[in-house]
Amino acid sequence: MSIRTNPMKAVPTLLKRLVTVEKQLKQVNLNDLKSELIRIKDLFSLVKKNEEELLDTLTVLDGYLRNKNINKLTEEEGHIRKRIRESTQKLLPAGEIQSTNIEDSQSSRKLPSSLQREELEMIEVNCNKLDHVGKRCLLSLLHFPENAVMKKSNIILWWVGVGLTANENGEDVFDKLMDYKIIVPHRSDKYPIENKFRINPCVHHIHKSGKLLLENDEKQPLQIITPSHHSDSGTYLALDKQKVKLSDQFGFKSNNCRSVFNVGASYLNFGPQWMAKMKHLEVLQLGRWLQGSPKHHIEVESEEFLKELRDQKELKYLSLRGISRISELPLSIFQLESLETLDLKACHNLETLPNDIASLRNLRHLDLSQCYLLDRMPKGIEKLAKLEVLKGFVIGSSIKTPCNVSDLAHLSKLKQLSIHIGSGAVIQDKEFESLEKLSELEKLKISWGVFDTRYSAIQVTLPSNLKKLHLEGFPGQNIPEWLKPDKISTSLCELSITGGRLKSMDLQQYAHVSCSLQIIRLKYLKHLKLD
């Protein structure tokens, strides 16, 4: 075999031949040569691996250019340049690398700091181009740790909660900060996460240097009080210590408070009647927020404070996400006339919801996902006429399930819905066909908590304006009839299938169907076989 035929085997082949020669000609000493070959034995494998790494990066770049995806390319440009530089350094000799940059190695070492200065200057210019509201919104985010990762909805909630913007204006401010690269996507490993963001590190540097200032005007600077900095003034409270005890000794006049945000507390203790004194509270965010991990544990010493909420006539947002030991909600929660968002996600001990939920007439967002002890939905959800988001709707095991999927047809404003089919669930005939009546629905998720194949036979009629569909734990082996390319809505642009027992799927059919389907996302399908 010629060593050019397979470079990967070149050195092992030569070593083998050297050993043979040494045995035949014992007076020849080739140990030094043999040692040199042993030293580079894995060189071609390493070069091949590094070559593939560079080609992978160039392929990503080529894809963006061929598909004219310039927005994505602009967003990824810095990351792509870094990957090309790192891959090139692994392939080229040190002298060659230096010569491809600037003539001498000293200039080459200055290049990263030069790039950093350019970015700092660009971000400084962009920060100072912001209008007064934009700057105040940006400065408010600097109350969080430098490495804080937030969702877009939480950032806007923060601005609304501290009185800087209305919800609609918050969208505009967020988009402006993204355009200016002041807010950037958060990256996990090498790739950005779609719905998580952080402040560009350059902003913190600019702020510390005193170059990010508000114009002088009659408005007072935003005052946010924390347990670390007691005060008897201010209207916004951020809980930033791991253990927080809130009582009259805290030194904060609670009757002025409009918003409470838990940005770092794990253990909360509310003194008697302390919560009841807040007469103008609009936002109460006690659950997981910045701490996105399910491992982040939040505990309250007593749930008595929930009963003190009954007089909160202005409360619009209540989050108890991830708080343990809440097994039921007191009736005081359902006396909150102005409540628009109720976030109970991952309240793992929550067992029941009363029918009184129907009294929350202004509710727009209800999240019950990951409440694993809930096995049925109360009668009354179908009366929440303003509901736009409903997550964690459970189809339970009881034949007397008060609320069925078909009852949701009355929710004409519903835009996002997730349904969980529990073990032993009883599903009525044509129950899922009623989803067709939800004309405003854009996002639908159906998850199965059981692998019984009879639950794969349910007939679903997709709404006409549905854009995103997610199936989780689907127990069937083949794509159901209602999801065949000729049956899906022309508006559907994203299909995700996660987990389950799916074995076959003809992707070519979806590629040729006359619809707007752009993304098919397949994850954790160990039985799936594709051509």
CA distances from 154 to 160, 176, 195 (A): 10, 16, 11
pLDDT interval class at 326 (50, 70, 90): confident
Mean pLDDT of 58-67: 77
The verdict on residue 446 lying in a domain is no
Asked whether the beta carbons of 529 and 506 are under 8 A apart, the reply is no
Mean pLDDT of 75-82: 77
The verdict on residue 436 lying in a domain is no
Mean pLDDT of 152-166: 83
Quote the CA–CA distance of 350 and 304 in Å, as a whole number: 16
Asked whether the beta carbons of 328 and 302 are under 8 A apart, the reply is no
Domain match, 280 and 329 both: yes
Per-chain mean pLDDT for the chain? 80
pLDDT at 399: 64
pLDDT interval class at 227 (50, 70, 90): low
Domain match, 268 and 295 both: yes
In this model, does residue 217 exceed pLDDT 80?
Answer: no
Q: Which residues contact 254 (CB under 8 A, 6 or more apart)?
A: 246, 274, 275, 277, 278
Asked whether the beta carbons of 3 and 10 are under 8 A apart, the reply is yes
CA distances from 391 to 75, 170, 231 (A): 31, 23, 38
Quote the CA–CA distance of 180 and 432 in Å, as a whole number: 44
pLDDT at 219: 44
Angle between helices 10-24 and 43-66 (to 10 degrees): 170
**DSSP letter string over 495-511?**
EEEEEE---B--HHHHH
> Could you tell me what percent of the chain has a pLDDT over 70?
80
pLDDT interval class at 151 (50, 70, 90): confident
pLDDT at 103: 36
What CATH number corresponds to the domain at position 147?
A: 1.10.10.10
Mean pLDDT of 18-33: 70
Per the listing, tokens 């044509």 go with 430
Note the pLDDT tens digit of each residue in 86-96: 777 766 654 44
The verdict on residue 391 lying in a domain is no
pLDDT interval class at 530 (50, 70, 90): confident
Note the pLDDT tens digit of each residue in 228-275: 555 555 577 888 788 888 776 665 666 678 888 888 788 888 888 888
Quote the CA–CA distance of 462 and 253 in Å, as a whole number: 51
| DSSP reduced 3-state for 343 | strand
Last residue of a domain, one of 313, 340, 374: 374
Quote the CA–CA distance of 318 and 244 in Å, as a whole number: 19
Domain match, 230 and 200 both: no
| DSSP reduced 3-state for 47 | helix
CA distances from 323 to 55, 332, 404 (A): 47, 18, 27
Taking residue 295's Cβ as centre, other Cβ atoms within 10 Å add up to 8
Mean pLDDT of 191-211: 79
Per the listing, tokens 């899906």 go with 488
Asked whether the beta carbons of 413 and 387 are under 8 A apart, the reply is yes
| DSSP reduced 3-state for 170 | helix
Domain match, 289 and 355 both: yes
Domain match, 230 and 322 both: yes
pLDDT interval class at 170 (50, 70, 90): confident
What CATH number corresponds to the domain at position 266?
A: 3.80.10.10
More confident residue, 165 or 367: 367
Domain match, 129 and 60 both: no
Quote the CA–CA distance of 166 and 161 in Å, as a whole number: 9
In this model, does residue 57 exceed pLDDT 50?
Answer: yes
The count of domains in the chain is: 3
pLDDT interval class at 112 (50, 70, 90): very low
Domain match, 303 and 229 both: yes
pLDDT interval class at 514 (50, 70, 90): low
Could you tell me whether strands 283-285 and 259-262 are parallel, antiparallel, or unpaired per DSSP bridges? parallel
pLDDT interval class at 107 (50, 70, 90): very low
The least confident of 109-118, 290-299, 405-414 is 109-118
In this model, does residue 114 exceed pLDDT 60?
Answer: no
Taking residue 149's Cβ as centre, other Cβ atoms within 10 Å add up to 18
Domain match, 273 and 361 both: yes
Could you tell me whether strands 389-395 and 365-367 are parallel, antiparallel, or unpaired per DSSP bridges? parallel
Last residue of a domain, one of 100, 132, 153: 100
Could you tell me whether strands 191-199 and 183-188 are parallel, antiparallel, or unpaired per DSSP bridges? antiparallel
Mean pLDDT of 372-392: 91
Domain match, 128 and 258 both: no
| DSSP reduced 3-state for 71 | helix
Task: Tell me which range, 30-44, 91-105, 142-156, is most confidently predicted by mean pLDDT.
Answer: 142-156
The least confident of 83-87, 327-331, 457-461 is 83-87
Mean pLDDT of 313-335: 89
Domain that holds residue 146: 119-208
Domain match, 78 and 168 both: no
The verdict on residue 414 lying in a domain is no
The verdict on residue 105 lying in a domain is no
The verdict on residue 492 lying in a domain is no
- Reading the block at residue 253, the tokens are 């006049």
- Reading the block at residue 53, the tokens are 């790494």
pLDDT at 442: 94
Note the pLDDT tens digit of each residue in 358-369: 999 999 999 999
In this model, does residue 191 exceed pLDDT 50?
Answer: yes
Last residue of a domain, one of 208, 240, 262: 208
Side chain identity, residue 215: E
Angle between helices 201-208 and 105-129 (to 10 degrees): 80
Mean pLDDT of 342-351: 90
Strands (DSSP E) contained in 183-258 are 183-188, 191-199, 224-225, 236-239, 243-246
pLDDT at 176: 92
pLDDT at 218: 37
Domain match, 246 and 362 both: yes
The verdict on residue 329 lying in a domain is yes
The verdict on residue 322 lying in a domain is yes
Domain match, 367 and 255 both: yes
